[in-house]
Structure 1
Amino acid sequence: TPPVPYLLNNDLDINSKGVILRAFDQFRLKSCIDFKPRDSEDYYISVKQLNGYVFFCCGYIGIVEHEFLHALGFYHEQSRYDRDDYVTINFENILEGLHNFRIVGSDESTIHGVPYDYLSVMHYGNNDFTNGNGSTIITKDPKFQNLIGQRVEMSTSDVQELNLLYKCSSIAFKMYCGFTNGTMCQMNRCSKSGNGWEMVTGVYGGPSSDHTNLPSQDAGYFMYASTESGQKGDSAWLETKRMSPQRKCRVQCLQFYYYNNGSQTDELNIWIREFQDKWDSTGSRYLMGQISGPPTSRWTLHHVPLNATKQFQVEFEVRKGAGNSTGGFSIDDINLSELECPDGTWQINNFERFWNSTHTPALIYSPRQYSSEGYAYRVALYLRQTDFGVYVQLVSGVYDDQLQWPCPQRQFTVQMVDQNPNIQLQMSRQTSLTTDPNLLTSTGTSSMLITCMVDIILHLWKTSNPEITSREGAPFLSSVYKANLNIFIAKLKYLKLLQQKCMKCMQVSVYIF
């Protein structure tokens, strides 16, 4: 499928342009749909700033995906020819003159065998276009009455139907391996004078389960390399299959979870091996990342940016250090994509318990971090009784004298991440804003607080399900996948926007557990 030409008109605000470019990356990750700036094509997508709600507030990626799916040939979900089996339309409650509730017949459309999806990003909400006399849509399954109309992200059914329509799969997604049912995902393992990688369901001293399963659930698998025995320098190797870069940008992001219960001198090294061609069996190996230090008490998310330009494979090496070890390294839920990696993470453990035990309102801060340009900032989490806000604060840093102030035209995207470990299947809420020098306040030093913040309100599941009366048992996101209710992940991405173009971006991820 050739890239879709697009034109972002000059009247479009710069924050919306950044949100659109973020949405394009989601299409690339989850489908084969790509986009390119228009040259001289006769047919292209033009995006303008109108009076509608498309770019309401700070910009929502789900709304952008909704509109671009229309351009790619999608009708609204409640217009399916089988919709009467799933919803009832109250036409007497619809504002006069609005006809997006009509059925599109099977002679005009196809559903490719994909079941009706209440969580489709193309579905209207229960009160959309109401004249004030009541709901416009009633779901036949009452559990979904307050869930229809989500604008978080494309659902898995949306993605499935998109790929069936265009007969293709992903551009930017390379692999996912969660070692489900004991499968190795075409990975190979070997050892050099020591213990090798083992596929296990638990390790004495931790972890007691894989990353995506609670101990009380069915056992999941992960990979473990022991450093208890052997000599210093002994190593175990785990190698992925060979893969070829598809995108011209030649950027990849490796994401995985690790658990270290060995010695602080043990190392987990991440390599790539590049091959000149398909006949090259040796290749050239490059060290891309290393993990060492004190043992961890839980699974920890880690990103490694890669820059392979030829056919390559990723290699995980556990190398025994000089100290005594009572364990080793474990890894699980490996994702590889041709998108940029976050540059930093902030992980809060036992977030649900922490929130429930904290006297609200309360404000907590992340450690100071730096952008790729050298701006120092921290993330603030403002906890309230039933919701919370995420804020970004510019703080004093070592590079302040070399920087442009007051840090204009930088876009921050706060993302609350679905707990599905496969990034291609996640439905993650994202909200973006771009800094405006006129909305910055000085504290008397070089610290500046961005006052026009994204205040992401977390509506508890009990809002949609009255039978749920507390946070316990309620997932933090309206997502279709629930792995561990003690885990919540939010991601913050930073981009520099200049002259209406999205420059090379730096991401900072806030992972709240």
Structure 2
Amino acid sequence: LGNRWDISVPYELSVNLSVNYKGVIWRAFEQFRLKSCIDFKPRAAEDISYISLESRDGCWSYVGRTFAGAQALSIGDGCGTKAIVEHEFLHALGFWHEQSRYDRDDYLTINFENIITGQEHNFNKYSENQTTTQDTQYDYYSVMHYDKNAFSNGNGSTIITKRPEFQDVIGQRLDLSEYDVIELNKLYKCNSSISFLDHCSFDDESLCQMSVCSAGDYGWQRMKSVSGINVTDHTYLGKEQNGTSFFMHFSTEGRNEGDAAKMESKTMTPKRDCKVQCLQFYYYHSGHESDQLNIWIREYQNEADSRGTLRLMDQITGQSLSWFKYCLHHVPLNANKTFQVVFEVRKGAGNSSGGFSLDDINISETECPHTWQIRDFEKVLNNSVFDTWMYSPLYYSSDGYRFQAGLSVYQNYLSIYVRLVSGVYEDQLQWPCPWRQITFQMLDQNPHLQKRMSSEKSFTSDPSLIYSNVSVWDNPQNTGTQVVIGNETVYVGIFWGYKYAIMKEDLTRREFIKGGDIIFLFTMQGRFCEETDRSQPSCSRTSVVVANQFFNVIICCSNTVVKSC
């Protein structure tokens, strides 16, 4: 147990950190803000002690606040991933390795004969007088745990778990685990979050303080299943259902055109200076294509304002899904004051035999990503031939660059790449595209946003990068290839990314595949500068979202409304 920092930890980024590493560090900060009470702030003149992030030899940190002045934390070559940054910052915040707990011998065995000579100190066990577990259980999933072959001399594993099912779990480098966060919050004596606002899976009869209303004797209903429709709870999809598995459903069957019902969240007040929020939820549309799911926010100007002002933020309509699949949907919000989210279903003109179902709602003060949900991906894995390619919809970054992702399925691994695509803002953009960090995330579909441990990788568009005598990030209108995507003729650049992005064996470690589907999230963000205060989500001058277009892959989605802010 090291000395604690203030909850807002001052830091400074060294000039020798790459642009991409600075962006990865910022993303790690955002995970701490989402999951815990810990925040980070750029060092100010009055901050005597601070963490100096540097690119030295390897990935390492002192444990706790060790001395006054600049305390080094190294993110060296090969260390630039979100989970490694989180690991080193947990050291700086006071954490030793999980396998150094005083009670570790109850949970694992250290094979000292298999450890490289001179590295035995990495497996020290600390007494109760030196460390504290904060009364948390031993965590095989901790981002602070070594893997089974850490510092092995080649003669076998160095760590053997006493429960064999965790032998391949230890050493995960995805994200902070649930118990990492619990222990961190206990250590710093707080239990709030900087950026998380609300979650609801409707498992409790309280509906998470949400209220339902309608014009008649019908409305949103809390259901376990719907008669005549193959729809069940999403929270426990693919798992054994239990007595708490519920979702919300509004039936448009037998209703008159214009009939509507609303469901309103509890009131929430933005805490961050940049008023950006993201609403995400899973929905299933089984009604008529003219039925609507409208998403509003009701914003209150002050405590005397009891009615609030409604603003429409998004609308889902169009052809219902002929298969039972929940779709993940994100809605960017921009509430400046206390607000509620309002879900309204409105009956359209046609005959309906279903309605709208909702589950697993999360709201956070973060920016929304782009979503690519691939239906029945599990079947693709089981039946695909060598080098099966899939292509995402087309996306726009907040500053107008258009791009597309490509996924290639091989026998033992998945490759993920991104390419630029010609769009409507080319004359307004800088070319070659300079220093945009592109991040893809294979989503852990845990229903609770704070408990997810997604797989994530990032890279940055280097404007000087040349491949096969072509500028990778130049205007595709000038250097790309003409193709047809959907009904549109466009120019595309070179795919760039990770060949060994995901090993197939890792797909079963979390809820990466749920109901047969896999979901990828994408962001493309501007350059991260050390002098810029990244303690807030960026306030983009515009946010451009285009209607989903797809090529050679089935996308789980409905019609998308063009939005701007």
Do they fold alike, i.e. is TM over 0.5? Answer: yes
Taking structure 2 as the reference length, what is the TM-score of the superposition? 0.82
User: Alignment identity in percent?
Assistant: 51
Structure 1 residue 483: Cα displacement = 7.8
Identify the residue that residue 478 of structure 1 maps to in structure 2: 509
Identify the residue that residue 390 of structure 1 maps to in structure 2: 416
Superposition pairs of residues 124-135 of structure 1, within 5 angstroms: 124-135=146-157
C-alpha separation between the residues in 2 aligned to 1:452 and 1:417? 18
Determine which of 79, 83, 86 is the counterpart of 2:107.
Answer: 86
Q: Deviations over 1:481-507 (max 9, x none)?
A: 588361322222211115555655789
Identify the residue that residue 21 of structure 1 maps to in structure 2: 26
Determine which of 230, 233, 240 is the counterpart of 1:217.
Answer: 240
Which residue type is aligned with residue 140 of structure 2?
Y
Shift in alpha-carbon separation, 1:58–1:127, aligned structure 2, 3 A: closer
Superposition pairs of residues 345-424 of structure 1, within 5 angstroms: 345-424=371-450
Which sits farther off after the overlay, 270-279 or 102-111? 270-279
Which residue type is aligned with residue 525 of structure 2?
L
Structure 1 residue 183: Cα displacement = 4.3
Q: Does the residue aligned with 2:360 lie in a helix, a strand or coil? A: strand
Q: Deviations over 1:174-201 (max 9, x none)?
A: 1111111544111110102473111112
Residues 194, 236 of structure 1: 8 Å contact kept: no
Shift in alpha-carbon separation, 1:386–1:451, aligned structure 2, 3 A: same
Identify the residue that residue 236 of structure 1 maps to in structure 2: 261
Q: Does the residue aligned with 1:449 lie in a helix, a strand or coil? A: coil
Shift in alpha-carbon separation, 1:121–1:161, aligned structure 2, 3 A: same
Q: Does the residue aligned with 2:180 lie in a helix, a strand or coil? A: helix
Determine which of 11, 25, 29 is the counterpart of 2:16.
Answer: 11
Superposition pairs of residues 105-504 of structure 1, within 5 angstroms: 105-169=127-191, 170-193=193-216, 195-214=218-237, 217-218=240-241, 220-296=245-321, 297=323, 298-342=325-369, 344-441=370-467, 442=470, 444-445=480-481, 447-453=492-498, 455-460=500-505, 476-479=507-510, 484=514, 486-497=516-527, 499-500=529-530, 501=532, 504=539
Which sits farther off after the overlay, 357-366 or 87-96? 87-96
Q: Does the residue aligned with 1:392 lie in a helix, a strand or coil? A: strand
Number of residues paired by the alignment? 497
Which sits farther off after the overlay, 208-217 or 134-143? 208-217
Structure 1 residue 94: Cα displacement = 2.4
Which residue type is aligned with residue 100 of structure 2?
S
C-alpha separation between the residues in 1 aligned to 2:77 and 2:132? 31
Which residue type is aligned with residue 424 of structure 1?
Q
Gaps of 5+ in 1: 462-475
Which residue type is aligned with residue 62 of structure 1?
A
* 1:52 and 2:49 correspond: no
Taking structure 1 as the reference length, what is the TM-score of the superposition? 0.90
Q: Deviations over 1:70-115 (max 9, x none)?
A: 0111000011000111122222332333312111111121111111
Q: Deviations over 1:293-322 (max 9, x none)?
A: 111232111111111121111111111122
Shift in alpha-carbon separation, 1:452–1:329, aligned structure 2, 3 A: closer
Q: Does the residue aligned with 1:246 lie in a helix, a strand or coil? A: coil
Residues 126, 145 of structure 1: 8 Å contact kept: yes
Residues 437, 524 of structure 2: 8 Å contact kept: yes
Structure 1 residue 452: Cα displacement = 5.0
Shift in alpha-carbon separation, 1:184–1:437, aligned structure 2, 3 A: same
Q: Does the residue aligned with 1:180 lie in a helix, a strand or coil? A: coil
C-alpha separation between the residues in 2 aligned to 1:482 and 1:415? 10
Shift in alpha-carbon separation, 1:302–1:110, aligned structure 2, 3 A: same
Which residue type is aligned with residue 298 of structure 2?
R
Which residue type is aligned with residue 258 of structure 2?
G
C-alpha separation between the residues in 2 aligned to 1:265 and 1:224? 17
Q: Deviations over 1:427-451 (max 9, x none)?
A: 1111111112333443555632153
Which residue type is aligned with residue 451 of structure 1?
W
Which sits farther off after the overlay, 317-326 or 105-114? 317-326
| Coordinate RMSD, CA, aligned | 2.5
C-alpha separation between the residues in 2 aligned to 1:498 and 1:69? 22
C-alpha separation between the residues in 1 aligned to 2:111 and 2:526? 46
Q: Does the residue aligned with 1:78 lie in a helix, a strand or coil? A: helix
Which sits farther off after the overlay, 254-263 or 391-400? 391-400
Which residue type is aligned with residue 516 of structure 2?
N
Q: Does the residue aligned with 1:128 lie in a helix, a strand or coil? A: coil
Q: Deviations over 1:28-80 (max 9, x none)?
A: 11101011111120011110001104454483111000000001110000110
C-alpha separation between the residues in 2 aligned to 1:149 and 1:323? 54
